Amino acid sequence: MTGAELYARFEDATDAQYTQYLDDTRASGLMSLVYRNLCKKLLDDAGDGAEVLRELVHMYVIDDTATPTSNVVSLTTDFANKVFWIIDLKAKFVKSGKTYYNECNVYYGKKNSQLEKATMRYPKYETSGDNLKVYPTNETCTELTCDYYMEPADIDVADNTTDLGFDIMLADQIVREAVIIAASPNRDTVLFQLGQANVETNKASTN
C-alpha cells in the first residue's frame, strides 16, 4: 500500500470539509504522526512478548549487527536501519581467547548495586538519546546483535509508487485515528501535541 492509497482510504472515511483543510504537507504530517504513535501504542500494549506483531511485521529486523566504539553504538547510524524498538539484544566480549556472547538486558536499577552489576556473562545496556551503551564498561564489547522494529517510515500522501508494506488491519487503524484528529475542532493543537510526543518517543522507545 502506497501513501497515496492510504490517503485515499482516509478521504473515503471522512467528510470533504476536513480533507480540503489538509494540503499534501499537512496530510503527510498527520498520517506520519498517527502511524508513529500507533506503532508505539501497539508495542507498549504487546509488552515483552516474543511474538512478532502482525501489523508491524514489515518493520521487524532480526540478527542485525553493529560494532560498538568504547561500548557505545548509535541507534540511528550503526545498525542497518534506524532502531525504533529493541526486542532482543546480545553482546559479544572476547577476553583471554575466550568468547562471551550473551543476552544483554536493560539496566533498571542502580549500576553500583551488586544485584544489578553487569558482567560479560550478564551484560546490560542503557540508552541516552540516540546512543546505546553496553556494560560492563571495563571490558570491551566487540559486537552487538539486535532484533528490533525499525523506525516507522514517513508517509507521503502524494507518493503512488513506494510500497509502505502495510496490511489492511494497520491501514484501517491509521485511518481511524487520523479521522478522529482531522474531525477535531482543535486539530492543529492535537497535531502539535502529537509532534511533541514524538520527541519523547524518540528518547524512550528504545528502552
Q: Could you read off the pLDDT of 83-112 as tens digits, one per residue?
A: 999 999 999 999 999 999 999 999 876 666
Q: How far apart are CA 91 and CA 125, in angstroms?
A: 9
131 neighbors 121 (Cβ within 8 angstroms):
no
Tens of pLDDT, residues 160-186: 999 999 989 999 999 998 888 776 655
Mean pLDDT, the chain, whole residue set:
85
Residue that wins the pLDDT comparison between 64 and 27: 64
Q: What is the pLDDT of residue 93?
A: 98
Q: Closest Cα to residue 54, out of 206, 193, 167, 185?
A: 167
Q: How far apart are CA 51 and CA 34, in angstroms?
A: 23
Q: How far is CA 86 from CA 71, 79, 206, in A?
A: 17, 12, 5
Out of 18-27, 34-43, 45-54, 90-99, least confident range? 18-27
